[in-house]
């Protein structure tokens, strides 16, 4: 499974030709999550929720 990104201690991996729906794997310590590529919804796994309000990226402009 190729690693395609690594940030904030999270490793993103992708299987080519894996089962539907198209998804990527996120690993964070002992936690794992599978995320739908189109919706970014976690479809399987046990990753804890992230509170982006305190120290994560912020969007200051409306789209």
For the four alpha carbons of 54, 30, 4 and 41, in that order, the dihedral sign comes to: negative
Return the pLDDT at 18.
84
Q: In the beta sheet, which residues pair with residue 7?
A: 10
> What tens digit of pLDDT does each residue of 5-52 get?
999 899 999 988 888 899 999 999 999 999 999 999 999 999 987 765
Is this prediction's pTM over 0.75?
Answer: no
Q: With helix as H, strand as E and coil as C, how does the chain read?
A: CCEEEEECCEEEECCCCCCCCCEEEEEECCEEEEEECCCCCEEEECCCCCCHHHHCCCCCCCC
Nearest-angstrom CA–CA distance, 62 and 50: 22
């Amino acid at each position: 499974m190729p690693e395609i990104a690594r940030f904030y201690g999270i490793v993103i991996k992708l299987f080519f030709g894996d089962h539907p729906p198209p998804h990527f794997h996120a690993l964070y310590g002992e936690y794992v999550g599978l995320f739908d590529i189109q919706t970014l919804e976690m479809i399987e796994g046990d990753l804890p929720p992230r509170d982006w309000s305190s120290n994560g990226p912020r969007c200051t402009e409306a789209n």
